[in-house]
Amino acid sequence: MSAWNFENARHLLTRCLFGYTRGDLDKALSYSTATDFVSKELLADKSLPDPPGTWVAEAPVANNGTVDGTRYRDLTFWWLQRMLTEQTHMREKMVLFWHNHFTSDREKVNFPQHMYQQNMLFRKYAFGNFKQFTKDVTIDPAMLIYLDGRQNNRNAPNENFARELMELFTVGIGNYTEDDIKQAALALTGWRVDGLKAVFNQNGFANTNKTFLGKTGNFTYTDIIDILFTKDILANFICQKLYKEFVYYKPNGAFVSEMAAVFRQADYELKPVLQFLLTSDEFYRTDYRGAKIKSPVELLIGTLKALSITNPDWGYVTEASRTLQQQLFNPPTVQGWIGQRDWISSSTLPLRGSFTDSVINGRRLNGQRLPFSIDALTYARSYPSSEKAELFVRDVTDYLLAYPIAPKKREFLLDTLLDGTISENWSTNTPMADVRIQKFLRTVMRQPEFQLC
């Protein structure tokens, strides 16, 4: 692959993490190659985090709305904290990727215990075996509730999960028939949810032969999934989705085929195909840098990291995420969040700027003080170039903006920092320097380039 340098390391981190700190960038560059960094940091084995509370092991209680609402809040805060403190590990990015692939939402699932279990399932299989992952998610309680698997029985087959299993989760439209959906639904019968567990009820199972994708037998859900995994198109379907998320929204078909070959050869283990992708020349093509629009969560967490905010008000961040149309645990449809250009509109773009302004100012739009903010002078002085205006502007923009900016825009940002003085007179020790730095940072984060990664 290309040389391991500042630009390539920054590109890798901005795609694989929810933003990064300068410490993360230094750590990445302490490795001699991207291959070492990817294998030893981004994709390293890591223990699972502690739960957000003991309530995750409690049996769900009906009509417990107020308590469950509080627990969903705590669960959301817990996940956001995982994203903020992920350091140089890619797991949380993959957890959100799988949350947007095997979707479920809190409105229908209702109980936070089930959504926590599913979130931990995504974490367990973030880099694991996709075939076993698909089998486990098929009988995951949250999924059984969300796509009506618990209502699927031999006397009244429900086709919802069977349809999405093929259309959205494994092979894609055009690679199965309506009859395959009906037959798969029969094989998926008999499962229900009891408390925190999925249980199999033999009496509800369609104990008869089914014909699915040209094969016949008394299939169960595991058989259906095994048959799906004999289709080469499955690897291409998943690899295309990985490519669109981490490389570019318009897939390179030839390279996706290379990924798929690696995926199949690895018996559908995810780590080898991610290692292949993230160390390829294709990933580091210069025309892909800054070509992805940040999701709201990438923007919010990335801003906190960039400004060294370690103690945010998660209630405020959650509110901003919902306003920007990405509420965790609540994707809009079974297709998840479409992303890319859908993230930006005439209403959401100004709101993105309002959030970054508020973090820098330490105040909400209504003037109410936030319990967190940056110390502008301390932040500026963390750069060795802080007393040299032109170098400082270059270093800050190189760090905060993944997309290169034109010389005239850099000059505009320099003028914003200087605010009427000249470069030779710039110092962080002069009166009102903190105000100028805040204005400069607000302006940088209001640039269209800050919305890109």
Is the pLDDT at 91 greater than 80? The verdict is: yes
Is the pLDDT at 236 greater than 90? The verdict is: yes
The model carries a pTM of 0.98
Mean pLDDT to the nearest integer, 4-24: 97
Of 234-248, 265-279, 359-373, 435-449, the poorest mean pLDDT is in 359-373
Would you state the pLDDT for residue 451? 98
* Residue 443 to residues 253, 376, 378, 410, 425, Cα–Cα distance (Å): 39, 14, 18, 11, 21
pLDDT digits (tens, 9 = 90+) for 338-394: 999 999 999 999 999 999 999 999 999 888 999 998 999 999 999 999 999 999 999
Mean pLDDT to the nearest integer, 77-102: 98
Would you state the pLDDT for residue 403? 87
- Sketch the domain layout of the chain as residue ranges: 6-42+231-288, 296-451
- Any idea which residue has 């075996």 for tokens? 129
As given in the structure block, the two tokens for residue 333 are 């449809």
pLDDT digits (tens, 9 = 90+) for 385-421: 999 999 999 999 999 999 889 999 999 999 999 999 9
Separation of alpha carbons 301 and 312, rounded Å: 10
Q: Which of 86, 29, 259, 200 is nearest to 94 (CA)?
A: 86
Would you state the pLDDT for residue 1? 63
By percentage, how much of the chain surpasses pLDDT 90? Answer: 98
Is the pLDDT at 295 greater than 90? The verdict is: yes
Tell me the average pLDDT of the chain.
Answer: 97
> Nearest 10 degrees: CA dihedral of 154, 157, 162, 163?
160
pLDDT digits (tens, 9 = 90+) for 142-158: 999 999 999 999 999 99
